Amino acid sequence: MRKIYIFDTTLRDGEQSPGVNLNTQEKVEIALQLEKLGVDRIEAGFPIASPGDLAAVNAVARAVKNASVVGLARSREKDIDAVVEALKGAQDPRIHIFLATSPIHRKHKLRMEKAEVLETAERMIKYAKARFAQVEFSAEDAGRTELDFLCEVTALAIKAGADVVNIPDTVGYMTPYEYGNIFKTLKENVPDIEKIQLSAHCHDDLGMATANSLAAILNGADQIEGTINGIGERAGNTALEEVALALMTRAEFFDASTTLHLQEIAKTSRLVSKLTGMPVPGNKAIVGANAFAHESGIHQDGVLKEKTTYEIISPATIGLKDSKLVLGKHSGRHAFREKLVDLGFENLTEEQVNAAFGKFKDVADRKKDVSNEDILALLEEKLVETPEVFALEQLVVAFDSHAVPSATVKLRKEGVVSSHTAEGNGTVDAIYQAILALTNEEAELDDYSIKSVTDGTDALGEVHVVLQQGEYSAQGRGVSTDILEASARAYVDALNRLVEKRKEPARTKRDRDNVTLI
C-alpha cells in the first residue's frame, strides 16, 4: 500500500486558533505525544514571529528524536535565518517556506505580478536549500490560483530544489472534485513531478477539509497536513485522526495508509484539547465523546447482537479501553495501579502514582463508582507540571439567594498559609476575589467553562479558565466533585502558570499578530 506522510501542524496552524497560546513546555509535551503517535513531520511554529516562538521551536527540535521537525518561514531571508537558528540541534530539520500565488493575494496582499512571484519563490527556495537538506514550498491560496500558473510555480519550485510542494486550500474554498483535479493536473503536466512529494493542506471553512484531503490522496498526494482534533485558523484544518481512520477503515478503496500508531489517537486528542483549552465537540468524528455511543434502541439491539451492524470502527483502535474493572472506595493501590496501566499510563513514577492514588481516594470518598473518565480527568488535572507557587488549602462559601455571596479561601504561598474572605456578584466571583487578594496578583478572567466528566449528580466537574494579565495569558484547569472547588483549583492553576510565563522570553499572541502571514 502507498504510504501517506503525515505532517502535523497542531503546534503552528493549530495554535493559530483564536484564544490558543501554548507555552514552550506545553509545545514540547504535545510534540512528544505526536512523536508517540508516529507522525512523520511536526511543524513546531513560526520562529520569526517572536523570540519566544523561536525558543519554543528550538525546544521542540531538541526534544523530538523520531520525527522531522519543521519551522515555518515567509519567503524572506530573515524568516529563513530565524528557522536556521530555531532548528539547531534537531535530528531531522526541515524548512517550510510559503508565498501566495492566487490572483487575489498577488493583487491585494503582495502587490506582485506573476513574474515577481516566480522570481521571489525561486530565489527563496534556493536560499533555503543552501541551508536545509529538506525544503517544503507552499503556494499559499493554491486553491484559488490559476491552474496553469500553479503548474508553472510547481515546476519552478522543483527546479529550484524543493523536496515537497504543498498545495494549500488556504481559505477552505475547494470542493473534493476541484481539489483532487489540481493534484491530477500537476501529476500529469509538471515535468519531474515524481522527484518531489506533493502535499495537501486544507482548511475547513465549508466543512470539506477531510473530504478534500482524501480527494488529494486519490489523485496522487503523498503528504497530508493537518492538526489533531482539526483545530486551526477560523474553522480549523483537516483533522488528522479523520484522515488516518478513513484510510484504515476503507483501505480497500484508498489503497494507501499512514504509519501512525492509531491506538495513541484518543490520548493525543485529550492532551491537545487539555493544553489548548479547546473542547472536543461530543459529535466530533473519531474523537468526540459520542463517536462510539449508540443511543437508539434499534442500534443498541443491533450492536449487542453483532457489533458490526452499527460500528465501523472499534473504540480500541484509537486506544479507548472498555475496562471491566470499576474502582470504588474499597479499591486498593494494586487495583489502582492496574487501572493506570490499562489506561495507558504505564510509565508513571512511584511519586506520581502516589499523588494520583491520593486524589482517587479523595474522590472515591465522595462518589460511589470512579469511572475511567474520572481517573483520566484526575490524572490530567494539571495542565503541565508547573511549579506550585500557590496551593489551595481550604474553601468555605456562603450562599443565600437573598444575600451577597461570600467565600473564605485558605491558600499556601511559599509554605505560608493565609486566609481571606471576600464578597462577590456570585460565589465564583467571591472565590476569585479572595484568591486575588491573597496572591497579590491582578488578572482578567477571559474565559470560564465548566463540564461534567460523567453523568449523574455526583459526577466530577471540570472547570477551565483563561486569565489575562497584561501581555500574558494562561489557562488553568481544576477537577472536583464540587464545581466551586473545581473553579477555585482552575483559577489557582492559571495563576501558577502566569507566574511561570512571566519568566519566559516574550511570546504573546499580540507579538505574533504583528508578524502577519504575508
Q: Detail the residues annotated as belonging to a binding site.
A: 13, 201, 203, 237
**Which of ligand KIV, Zn ion, none does residue 180 bind to, with CB < 5 to 8 Å depending on kind?**
none
Contacts of 99 (CB under 8 A, 6+ apart): 74, 75, 110, 117, 120, 121, 124, 137, 138, 139, 140
| Nearest-5° Cα angle at 379, 374 to 382 | 115
For the CA atoms of 184, 185, 186, 188, the dihedral, rounded to the nearest 10 degrees, stands at 80
What whole-number distance in Å separates Cα of residue 236 and Cα of residue 80? 26
Tell me the CB-side half-sphere exposure of residue 392, using CA atoms within 13 A. 25
The sign one gets for the Cα dihedral 34, 39, 45, 47 is: positive
What whole-number distance in Å separates Cα of residue 34 and Cα of residue 30? 6
Count of positions on this chain that bind ligand KIV (CB under 6 A): 8
Q: Tell me which residue has cell 479572595.
A: 434
Length of the chain counted residue by residue: 518
Q: Which is nearer to ligand KIV, 178 or 423 (CB)?
A: 178
Restricted to residues 263-282, the positions that interact with ligand KIV (CB under 6 A) are none
Q: Which of 144, 201, 477, 512 binds ligand KIV (CB under 6 A)?
A: 201
Q: Which is nearer to ligand KIV, 225 or 264 (CB)?
A: 225
Amino acid at 54: L
Chain centroid to CA 31: how far? Answer: 10
- The strand pairing partners of 394, in sequence order, are 410
Q: Which is nearer to Zn ion, 34 or 171 (CB)?
A: 171
Supply 434's cell numbers: 479572595
Q: Which of 490, 486, 462, 487 is closest to 476 using CA atoms?
A: 490
Q: Which of 4, 6, 7, 13 binds Zn ion (CB under 5 A)?
A: 13
Shortest distance (Å) from residue 44 CB to ligand KIV: 14
Q: Is 140 in the site for ligand KIV (CB under 6 A)?
A: yes
Q: Which is nearer to Zn ion, 172 or 277 (CB)?
A: 172
Q: Which is nearer to Zn ion, 13 or 241 (CB)?
A: 13
Supply 241's cell numbers: 485522526
Shortest distance (Å) from residue 38 CB to ligand KIV: 23
**Which of ligand KIV, Zn ion, none does residue 496 bind to, with CB < 5 to 8 Å depending on kind?**
none
Shortest distance (Å) from residue 222 CB to ligand KIV: 16
**In Å, how far are 114, 368, 431, 432, 479 from 489, measured between CA atoms?**
56, 23, 10, 10, 7
Q: Tell me which residue has cell 469511572.
A: 371
Shortest distance (Å) from residue 70 CB to ligand KIV: 11
Q: Tell me which residue has cell 489540481.
A: 182
What whole-number distance in Å separates Cα of residue 107 and Cα of residue 242? 35
Q: Which is nearer to ligand KIV, 200 or 320 (CB)?
A: 200
**Which of Zn ion, ligand KIV, none does residue 382 bind to, with CB < 5 to 8 Å depending on kind?**
none
Shortest distance (Å) from residue 374 CB to Zn ion: 37
Restricted to residues 185-214, the positions that interact with Zn ion (CB under 5 A) are none
Exposure string over 138-159, b if 16+ CB within 10 A, otherwise e? bbbbbbbbeeebbbbbbbbbbe
Shortest distance (Å) from residue 479 CB to ligand KIV: 34
Restricted to residues 144-173, the positions that interact with ligand KIV (CB under 6 A) are 168, 170
**Which of ligand KIV, Zn ion, none does residue 277 bind to, with CB < 5 to 8 Å depending on kind?**
none
Q: Which is nearer to ligand KIV, 58 or 238 (CB)?
A: 238
What whole-number distance in Å separates Cα of residue 489 and Cα of residue 463? 8
Tell me the CB-side half-sphere exposure of residue 370, using CA atoms within 13 A. 28
Shortest distance (Å) from residue 32 CB to ligand KIV: 23
**Which of ligand KIV, Zn ion, none does residue 254 bind to, with CB < 5 to 8 Å depending on kind?**
none
Q: Where are the alpha helices (DSSP H) in 325-398?
A: 333-342, 350-366, 372-379
Q: Where are the alpha helices (DSSP H) in 112-175?
A: 114-129, 147-160
Asked if 215 contacts 253 with a C-beta cutoff of 8 angstroms, the reply is no
Q: Is 98 in the site for ligand KIV (CB under 6 A)?
A: yes
Asked if 26 contacts 384 with a C-beta cutoff of 8 angstroms, the reply is yes
Site map 42..81 versus ligand KIV, x via CB under 6 A:
----------------------------------------
**Which of Zn ion, ligand KIV, none does residue 106 bind to, with CB < 5 to 8 Å depending on kind?**
none
Shortest distance (Å) from residue 491 CB to Zn ion: 34
Q: Which is nearer to ligand KIV, 54 or 99 (CB)?
A: 99
Q: Which is nearer to ligand KIV, 122 or 140 (CB)?
A: 140
Restricted to residues 258-297, the positions that interact with Zn ion (CB under 5 A) are none
Shortest distance (Å) from residue 96 CB to ligand KIV: 7
Q: Which of 10, 24, 138, 481 binds ligand KIV (CB under 6 A)?
A: 138
Q: Which is nearer to ligand KIV, 203 or 497 (CB)?
A: 203
Count of positions on this chain that bind Zn ion (CB under 5 A): 1
Amino acid at 132: F
Residues that bind ligand KIV (CB under 6 A): 13, 98, 138, 140, 168, 170, 201, 203
Residues that bind Zn ion (CB under 5 A): 13
